[in-house]
Amino acid sequence: MIYPNLDVSEMFVERQAQRGSMHTRHLNEQLVRVLKTIGYDVGFQKGQGQYLFDRDGERYLDLLSGFGVFAIGRNHPVLRRALKSVLDADLPNLVQLDVSTLAGVLAERLLKYAPYLDKVFFANSGAECVEAAIKFARGATGRPGIVYCEHAFHGLSYGALSLTDDPNFRAGFEPLLPGCTPIPFDDLAALEQALSSRQVAAFIVEPIQGKGVNIPGDDFLPGAAALCRKYGTLLIADEIQTGIGRTGKFLAVEHWNVEPDMVLLAKALSGGHVPIGALLTRKSIFDKIFNQMDRAVVHGSTFAKNDLAMAAGIATLEVMEAEKLVEQTARRGAELRLALKAMIPGYELMKDVRGKGLMIGVEFGPPKSLKLKASWNLLESANKGLFCQLITVPLFKEHKILTQVSGHGSHTIKLLPPLTITEDDCRWIETAFDSVIAASHKVPGAIWSLGKTLVDNAVRKSA
Which runs of E-coded beta strand occur in 150-252?
A: 180-183, 200-205, 234-238
Q: Tell me the one-letter amino acid at 263.
A: V
How far apart, in Å, are the Cα atoms of 6 and each of 86, 90, 133?
Answer: 20, 20, 41
Separation CA 131–CA 109 (nearest Å): 23
Cβ(169)–Cβ(154) below 8 Å: no
Catalytic residue check, 153: yes
Residues β-bridged to residue 238 = 264
What kind and span of H or E run contains 120?
Answer: strand 119-123
Q: Which of 267, 356, 400, 414 is flagged as catalytic?
A: 267
Separation CA 435–CA 261 (nearest Å): 45
What kind and span of H or E run contains 338?
Answer: helix 325-341
Q: Which of 186, 238, 261, 425 is flagged as catalytic?
A: 238
Q: What is the CA radius of gyration of the chain?
A: 23
Q: Which of 70, 122, 136, 153 is flagged as catalytic?
A: 153
Torsion angles phi and psi, residue 235, rounded to 5: -100, 120
Separation CA 424–CA 343 (nearest Å): 18
Instruction: Report the length, in residues, of the chain.
Output: 463
Catalytic residue check, 53: no
From the centroid of its chain, how far is CA 75?
Answer: 19
Catalytic residue check, 267: yes
What one-character DSSP code corresponds to residue 254?
G
What positions carry a catalytic annotation?
153, 238, 267
